[in-house]
Every structure is written in structure tokens, then in C-alpha cells.
């Protein structure tokens, strides 16, 4: 067999092996999306209930709480970046990191210091490669986030928030994560967690409406104290679940296009190999014919 | 008398929801019982049991709630806890 044909055969084989792997990964993530989506849906009632309660306190009482009031001067802001542990997910991680960089640039132009909290091996790697400092890191378990991790992250950022800026505390907390919109679309999203920005779920009462008076047990301040960490946790947990679902969807999409590309490569190389084989045969025939001609004319 | 709409949710799932005639829970201040028509309330729960008397009779639903809160508004009671599970009697 000619050397050219052998080269093409090798390439076909390697594309086939790659395709097997990508196809398997595609199927795995496709099955995991379902589960991740179910978890997002299952955590919905909790985060809705918590959000509603927080908005109720914030709307129906005029309490000044450290977590809800805007600080006069923001010296430092924290950004929590939710990336994934593994790659092979298309632009999943670069999207979220780019969004975080844009946010950091914006905050810096407003004269704020930026500190980072990183979730997922990919963002940690990104920071390490650029020799940039981060406040804390959480790696592992982004595929299947647990509430304990969310609680840990929540505790860490709330504790930092409650510190005064002089001691290295932060005055704002932002989170950046990929939101799962559909199987095909995942959008990086930036949300300011603290001080509380948007409170949805309860309509602000109009002037003419009767102000429903909530009773608080034990006290408004205590209720807020207990409620806000819970709210932060649930938002973080939700972000982690969304990010996990989005990661699986992104992997599935990336692996699907990789399998498609492998198919195309196999097709192209098969054509080329056939071509090479055919031209080899043609050449051999013409050599034989030429040789036979030469022999015949020599005999005469 | 109207019924209460009750839902018990934990961090990762909704544990129970349905209609009930009474809810008894333990807050940090002590036990509290809620009947239809209760004023809007937000209370911090202490570790303890929440008992829901199902409307129309039947065995009461009991759930163990650990660190959470209880909100009542317009006859809708939501019991929210990080960790909560039903107790089978």
C-alpha cells in the first residue's frame, strides 16, 4: 500500500477514536442535564419562599439594617466567580471569566478595590496562571453542588461583609455565574448580592393601599439577622445549581459539535484515501501497460 | 372557615404542601399556633417539630425543621428550613 493511503488511514482512525470519546461525553452530559435541571427546579420553592420573606421584611418595615443599607463610600467590592472544575465545555468558563473581568474593570473605575472568591478549578487555574491573588477558593463538586458548600461560601462572604473596610472587609458583594436558559443558551449573569438590590416577589404597596403590618418574632432586627444569611445562601446555592446545569448543557453542545467535526473529518479523509488508492491503481496499471509495451517492442 | 395553604420547604426540595386547618410550630420565643385569619407574621424557628393539622381530618403531618423561619400572609403559611424532613408517626 502506498504511503499516502496509509497516512490517510491513520488520520481516519484517530478521528474515529476521538469521535467515540466525544460521543460518549455528549451522552453523559445529556443525561446529567436532566438531573441538574431537576435540582434547579426542586430548589425553586425554597429560594422563592426566602426571597418573598426578605422582600416582605424590606418592604413592610422601615428598619435600618447593615445588610440592606447602602454604605456611603464603597472601598472594596468582592466578586464571587462560579466556574466549572472541568473544561471541554466550549466558551463556558471564558464567558464567565470575561464577564467578571468586565465587572472588575467597571468597579475599579469607580475607585473600588476588588477581591475575588473563586469557585471551580477552572477559575482558580486562570488566576494562578496570571499570578493573581484571590481571597478564597473552592474546588471540586461543581458538577453536583451541595448545600453545605453554598453555606460555606455564604458564611465566608457575609462575614467579610460584616467586617469594617479598615480591617479588610468588603462593602459590596457581586456574583458572576452562567445562567441556564435552555439546552442551547447559557448566559453569564452578574448579580449584586449585597447590599440587597432588587427585591422581587412582593409588590411594593401603593399609597392608597392598606399597609399590611407584619408581626415579627422576636424583633425585626433579629429576623433580618437570621434571614439575610439564609437569603444569601439560597442565592449562592441557586447560582451553583444553575451553573452546574449550564455546564452540562455547554459540554453537551461542545461535544456534539466535536462529534460532528469528527464525522466531517472522517468523510473528507475517506474521500482523500479513496482518491489516493485509485490514483495508485491507475499508476500501477499504466506502469504495467508501459512495461508490457516496452517488452513487446523489444522482442520485435 | 377558610383553610390555610401550607407549604413546608427545605433547601433542595418542597417537602409537603397542601391545605390545613392549623399549624403549630416552635419559634425561638416558644410554641405558636396558627389558625386561618392570622395576621401577617415572620418568625424565626427554633429546632423542633412542626405539626400541620390537615384540612378535612386525617393524621397530622409532622416535620422536623432545623433552623429556618415561618411566614404567614393572607392565610398562606410557609415553613422554610435548611434541613427539614417529615416525621412518620
The CATH number given to whatever domain includes residue B48 is 2.60.15.10
Q: Each residue of A34-79: pLDDT tens digit? A: 999 999 888 888 888 888 888 777 776 666 676 667 777 788 889 9
Report whether pLDDT(B73) > 80.
yes
* Three-state SS at A209: coil
Residues of B whose CB is below 8 A from A46 = 9-14, 80
Mean pLDDT over all residues of chain A? 86
C-alpha cell at B67: 433552623
Residues of A whose CB is below 8 A from B41 = 214-217
Bond before A176 cis per omega within 30 degrees: no
CA-nearest of A27, A29, A30 to A19 is: A27
Which pTM value belongs to this model? 0.84
For chain A, give every domain's residue range: 45-204+213-254
Predicted pLDDT at A212: 62
H helices of chain A, in order, are 3-60, 92-109, 121-129, 147-162, 220-299
Q: Kindly indicate the confidence band of residue B89, based on its pLDDT and cuts at 50, 70 and 90.
A: low
Which of A42, A216, A218 lies closest to B12 in CB terms?
A: A42
Select the residue from B38, B72, B80, B81 to test the A interface by mutation, using most A Cβ atoms within 10 A: B80
Predicted pLDDT at A207: 45
Q: Kindly indicate the confidence band of residue B16, based on its pLDDT and cuts at 50, 70 and 90.
A: confident
Instruction: Give chain B's domain count.
Output: 1
Report whether pLDDT(A22) > 90.
yes
Query: Any bridge partners for residue B32, and if so which?
Result: B25
* DSSP code string of B12-33: TEEEEEEEEEEEEEEETTEEEE
Residues of A whose CB is below 8 A from B10 = 46
Chain A residue with the nearest C-alpha to that of B41: A215
Residues of A whose CB is below 8 A from B75 = none
B73 contact A CB<8A: yes
Tell me which of A73 and A268 has the higher pLDDT: A268
Residues of A whose CB is below 8 A from B68 = 230
B78 contact A CB<8A: yes
CA-nearest of B10, B5, B4 to B80 is: B10
CATH 3.40.640.10 given to domain A45-204+213-254: no
Q: Each residue of A126-175: pLDDT tens digit? A: 999 999 988 889 998 888 888 889 889 998 988 888 887 777 788 888 99
Please give the share of chain A, as a percent, with pLDDT higher than 90: 47
Predicted pLDDT at A205: 46
Please give the share of chain B, as a percent, with pLDDT higher than 70: 98
B2 contact A CB<8A: no
B89 contact A CB<8A: no
Q: What distance in Å separates residue B60's CA from the closest CA in chain A?
A: 22
Q: How far is CA A293 from CA A183, A283, A299, B6, in A?
A: 67, 15, 10, 99
Question: Which value does ipTM take for this structure?
Answer: 0.82
Distance CA B79, CA B9 (A): 6
Domain span including residue B27:
4-87
Rounded to 10 deg, the angle between the A92-109 and A220-299 helix axes is: 130
Q: Each residue of A178-229: pLDDT tens digit? A: 998 888 888 999 988 877 765 454 444 444 444 467 788 777 778 878 888 8
Chain A residue with the nearest C-alpha to that of B14: A45
Residue A169 neighbours by CB under 8 Å, 6+ apart: A76, A160, A161, A162, A163
CB contact (8 A) between residue A147 and residue B82: yes
Predicted pLDDT at A4: 87
Select the residue from B5, B9, B11 to test the A interface by mutation, using most A Cβ atoms within 10 A: B11
Tally A–B CB contacts below 8 A.
Answer: 85
B14 contact A CB<8A: yes
Amino acid at each position: 500500500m502506498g504511503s499516502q493511503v496509509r497516512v490517510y488511514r491513520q488520520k481516519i482512525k484517530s478521528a474515529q477514536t476521538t469521535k467515540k470519546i466525544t460521543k460518549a461525553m455528549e451522552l453523559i452530559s445529556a443525561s446529567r442535564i436532566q438531573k441538574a435541571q431537576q435540582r434547579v427546579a426542586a430548589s425553586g420553592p425554597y429560594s422563592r419562599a426566602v426571597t418573598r420573606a426578605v422582600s416582605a421584611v424590606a418592604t413592610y418595615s422601615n428598619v435600618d439594617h447593615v445588610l440592606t443599607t447602602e454604605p456611603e463610600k464603597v472601598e472594596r467590592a468582592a466578586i464571587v466567580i462560579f466556574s466549572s472544575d472541568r473544561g471541554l465545555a466550549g466558551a463556558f468558563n471564558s464567558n464567565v471569566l470575561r464577564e467578571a473581568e468586565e465587572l472588575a474593570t467597571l468597579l475599579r473605575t469607580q475607585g473600588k478595590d476588588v477581591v475575588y472568591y473563586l469557585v471551580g478549578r477552572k477559575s482558580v487555574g486562570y488566576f494562578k496562571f496570571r499570578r493573581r491573588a484571590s481571597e478564597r477558593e473552592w474546588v471540586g463538586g461543581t458538577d453536583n453542588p451541595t448545600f453545605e458548600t453554598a453555606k460555606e461560601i455564604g458564611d465566608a462572604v457575609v462575614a467579610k461583609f460584616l467586617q469594617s473596610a479598615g480591617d479588610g472587609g468588603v462593602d459590596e458583594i457581586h456574583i458572576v455565574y452562567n445562567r441556564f436558559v435552555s439546552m442551547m443558551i447559557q448566559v453569564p449573569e452578574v448579580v449584586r448580592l449585597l447590599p440587597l438590590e432588587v427585591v422581587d416577589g412582593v409588590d411594593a404597596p401603593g399609597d392608597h393601599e392598606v399597609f399590611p403590618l407584619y408581626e415579627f418574632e422576636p424583633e425585626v432586627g433579629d429576623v433580618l439577622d437570621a434571614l439575610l444569611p439564609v437569603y444569601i445562601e439560597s442565592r449562592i446555592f441557586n447560582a451553583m445549581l444553575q451553573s452546574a446545569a449550564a455546564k452540562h448543557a455547554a459540554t453537551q453542545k461542545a461535544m456534539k459539535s466535536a462529534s460532528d467535526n469528527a464525522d466531517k473529518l472522517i468523510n473528507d479523509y475517506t474521500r482523500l484515501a479513496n482518491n489516493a488508492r485509485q490514483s495508485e491503481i491507475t499508476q500501477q496499471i499504466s506502469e504495467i501497460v508501459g512495461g508490457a509495451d516496452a517488452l513487446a517492442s523489444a522482442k520485435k | 372557615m377558610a383553610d390555610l395553604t401550607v407549604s413546608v420547604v427545605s433547601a433542595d426540595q418542597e417537602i409537603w404542601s397542601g391545605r390545613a386547618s392549623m399549624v403549630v410550630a416552635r419559634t425561638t420565643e416558644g410554641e405558636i399556633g396558627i389558625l386561618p385569619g392570622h395576621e401577617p407574621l415572620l418568625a424565626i424557628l427554633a429546632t423542633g417539630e412542626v405539626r400541620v393539622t390537615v384540612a378535612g381530618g386525617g393524621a397530622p403531618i409532622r416535620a422536623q425543621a432545623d433552623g429556618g423561619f415561618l411566614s404567614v400572609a393572607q392565610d398562606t403559611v410557609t415553613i422554610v428550613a435548611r434541613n427539614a424532613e417529615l416525621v412518620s408517626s
